[in-house]
Each structure stands twice: as structure tokens, then as C-alpha cells.
């Protein structure tokens, strides 16, 4: 366990709730590593970490919160936020919809009315979004994405070359999606370049602490609470959180909204990022996944932490969101 974070004073019970969820699910070995990207099957499966970052810069953590893993689909939320800023809401929505697909993340399915990908959280939508960034930034697109994700985390992030190569060598389904997108006019130019950009963004290395800090940047309407850097535009953050809420957990999004009730995004690297608007970012890391590609222990921990801290968007308990917020902002 590498919990070397100085825990803030135990004022509101956040740390004890995080620590209890960690202990409760530590022995849970349900699920399986993603193996369709060969390099992901080589990850140490027992790693488990939970980090919660507040909009006033505090961090509550338990377990392996400093272990690097690839961000995978969690990147889709941030690259979407960037695309909204680069070409604006209307041009973005003209190319990628905002409806839940109800299908798996890698489904080869498009909105039958518009031919657009259903939303930017599934692969077809995310590859289109990568195409938007590629159209605007050309050869500098990956650096732009890496810079922006690093600013959200508050530290310089890097890419895992081995995972990138592994996905690049085996990602034929995503290449097929790219060619279908080119066929319906959702992508211009070189499909290979756009899919390569998508593989690179998925291979960025983060920790659970990074995910929590990145979530706190979104929760803090785009300003990194620690560095004070305004990383994302306000309206882009609002639109991104909305689509995370409805589509971020793929064909589990309805269950997630019902039970956990916070905008979130998962990745097959084992990360889940959640955002409690104006309050908290939450990052979990546990690489064993359920059948829908979501981290088993991550989902369980989010459920408990959400319930115990009253984080659900429609919470009506006396520990609800507004109450939490007033506590967080009160000087101690």
C-alpha cells in the first residue's frame, strides 16, 4: 500500500469513509483484466487505490493511489472538453451527438437519423473527437492533449509507450470504426493519423490521485484547485459533465446515475473518475473489470462513498451535497 499522502485533519469523515471502502473491497477479486490490448493483461491485478480531492485542494486517499496506469477511456471526457473549446458547442454537436447509446463502448453503431456517433464517450464518438483536435492542431494535437490533461492533474503526465504500441498493433476494431466514420463524413483526412492520436491519448499514464485532481479541476468549473490554472472553459465543463452523467459508464450509465448519481468516466485500465459538481473529484484504480468494462472494486467503492457522503446529485439525506459543500468551504 503506498498511502504516503498527508491526510488532512479528519474534519468531515471523508477520510474514514474512503479508508473503510478501501478495506471493505480490498479482498474482492471479482472481474478480469482487460486482455484485448495484450499489454493490459500484464498489469498487476491486485492494485487498488481510492483518492478524493476537494475543490479547496485537499486530498483524502487510501491504498495504491500513486501507482501509474493508462487512462484509457477516461481521456475521452477531457479531450471532448478540449474539442468543445476548440470548435465550439454547435460544431462539435454537429459531428458527435449527446445521446446514450445503450451499447458497449466499442459498438459499431451510429445514430440512424444523423449518421453521427451517439456520444463522445463511446469509441466511435471519441475517435471523431480526436479527429476534431487533429483538424485544429495538426501534428501538435497529441502535445495539446497531453498539456491539457497535465494541467488538469497539476503535474506533467507521460505516455506508456508499451501500451500504446500494443494497442496500435492490435486495434483493428477501432481502425474499422475510423474508416466507417470517414465513410459517413464524420472524419476528414487520414484515418490512421486520427486513430493513432486516439491510441496515444488512451496510453497516457495517470494515478488515482491524478484522476481525483483532474476531477476536482472539472468540479471547480475548469480551474485546477491547487495550481489555480484555468484549464478548461466553463461552458465546455458543463457540457462535458452532462455527457459524463448520461453516457460515461457506457451501457451501465443508467444504473450508475440511479445508484451513484455523479458524472463519471471509466477506462479499461481500471480507472474511474467521478465529479461532484463544485465539490470533489474522485479517482479509483482497480484493474479487474466487469463485463461492461468498468472496474469492479471501483464501482463498489463509488457506490459506498457516494451513499455515505451523500454525493448523489439528487441526494435528500442530511449529509447531502449542499451540506457537504458548506462544510468544505467553512474555515476550520
Which residues sit at the interface with ligand DON, rule CB under 6 A? 72-73, 105-106, 123, 167, 174, 202, 266-268, 293
Q: How far is the CB of 269 from ligand DON (least distance, A)?
A: 7
Quick one: 70 or 277, whose CB is closer to ligand DON?
70
In the annotation, is 190 catalytic?
no
Q: What distance in Å separates the CA atoms of residue 198 and residue 81, rounded to the nearest whole number?
A: 15
In the annotation, is 164 catalytic?
no
Q: What distance in Å separates the CA atoms of residue 189 and residue 22, rounded to the nearest whole number?
A: 46
Q: How far is the CB of 17 from ligand DON (least distance, A)?
A: 25
In the annotation, is 265 catalytic?
no
Quick one: 15 or 67, whose CB is closer to ligand DON?
67
CA distances from 98 to 132, 245, 252 (A): 16, 11, 16
- Catalytic residue selected from 25, 198, 253, 321: 198
In the annotation, is 292 catalytic?
no
- Catalytic residue selected from 25, 250, 296, 299: 250
Gyration radius from the chain CA atoms: 18
Quick one: 72 or 217, whose CB is closer to ligand DON?
72
Q: How far is the CB of 266 from ligand DON (least distance, A)?
A: 5
Q: How far is the CB of 267 from ligand DON (least distance, A)?
A: 4
In the annotation, is 198 catalytic?
yes
Q: How far is the CB of 305 from ligand DON (least distance, A)?
A: 20
Q: How many residues does the chain have?
A: 332
Q: What distance in Å separates the CA atoms of residue 227 and residue 108, rounded to the nearest whole number?
A: 40
Quick one: 201 or 217, whose CB is closer to ligand DON?
201
Find out whether 204 and 75 touch, Cβ atoms under 8 Å.
Answer: yes
Q: What distance in Å separates the CA atoms of residue 132 and residue 293, rounded to the nearest whole number?
A: 26
Q: How far is the CB of 196 from ligand DON (least distance, A)?
A: 12
- DSSP H helices, the chain, are 14-25, 74-87, 89-95, 123-137, 141-153, 161-170, 172-183, 191-202, 208-219, 234-247, 253-259, 296-309, 321-329
Quick one: 128 or 266, whose CB is closer to ligand DON?
266
- Catalytic residue selected from 74, 122, 163, 268: 268
- Catalytic residue selected from 17, 76, 122, 296: 76
Quick one: 63 or 271, whose CB is closer to ligand DON?
271
Q: What distance in Å separates the CA atoms of residue 298 and residue 287, rounded to the nearest whole number?
A: 9
Burial of 309 (0-12, 13-18, 19+ CB in 10 A): buried
Which residues are catalytic, by number? 73, 76, 198, 250, 268
Amino acid at each position: 500500500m503506498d498511502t504516503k499522502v498527508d491526510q488532512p485533519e479528519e474534519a468531515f469523515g471523508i477520510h474514514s469513509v474512503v479508508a473503510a471502502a478501501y478495506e471493505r473491497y480490498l479482498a474482492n477479486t471479482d472481474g478480469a483484466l482487460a486482455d484485448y490490448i495484450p499489454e493490459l493483461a500484464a498489469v498487476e491485478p491486485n492494485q487498488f487505490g481510492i483518492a478524493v480531492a476537494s475543490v479547496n485542494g485537499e486530498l483524502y486517499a487510501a491504498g495504491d493511489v500513486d501507482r501509474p496506469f493508462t487512462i484509457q477511456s477516461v481521456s475521452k471526457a477531457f479531450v471532448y472538453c478540449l474539442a468543445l473549446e476548440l470548435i465550439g458547442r454547435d460544431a462539435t454537436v454537429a459531428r458527435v451527438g449527446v445521446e446514450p447509446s445503450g451499447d458497449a463502448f466499442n459498438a459499431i453503431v451510429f445514430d440512424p437519423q444523423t449518421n453521427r456517433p451517439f456520444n463522445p464517450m463511446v469509441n466511435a464518438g471519441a475517435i471523431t473527437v480526436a479527429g476534431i483536435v487533429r483538424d485544429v492542431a495538426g501534428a501538435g494535437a497529441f502535445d495539446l492533449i497531453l498539456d491539457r490533461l497535465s494541467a488538469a492533474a497539476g503535474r506533467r503526465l507521460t505516455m506508456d509507450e508499451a501500451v500504446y504500441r500494443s494497442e496500435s498493433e492490435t486495434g483493428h476494431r477501432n481502425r474499422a470504426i475510423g474508416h466507417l466514420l470517414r465513410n459517413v463524413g464524420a472524419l476528414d483526412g487520414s484515418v490512421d493519423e486520427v486513430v493513432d492520436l486516439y491510441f496515444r491519448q488512451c496510453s497516457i499514464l495517470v494515478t488515482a490521485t491524478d484522476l481525483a485532481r483532474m476531477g476536482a479541476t472539472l468540479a471547480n468549473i475548469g480551474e485546477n484547485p491547487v495550481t489555480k490554472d484555468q484549464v478548461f472553459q466553463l461552458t465546455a465543463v458543463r457540457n462535458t459533465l452532462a455527457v459524463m452523467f448520461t453516457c460515461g459508464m457506457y451501457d451501465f450509465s443508467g444504473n450508475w446515475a440511479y445508484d451513484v448519481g455523479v458524472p463519471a468516466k471509466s477506462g479499461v485500465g481500471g480507472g474511474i473518475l467521478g465529479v461532484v459538481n463544485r465539490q470533489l473529484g474522485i479517482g479509483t484504480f482497480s484493474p479487474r473489470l466487469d463485463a461492461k468494462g468498468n472496474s469492479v472494486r471501483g464501482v463498489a467503492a463509488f457506490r459506498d462513498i457516494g451513499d455515505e457522503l451523500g454525493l448523489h446529485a439528487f441526494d435528500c439525506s442530511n449529509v447531502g451535497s449542499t451540506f457537504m459543500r458548506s462544510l468544505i468551504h467553512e474555515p476550520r
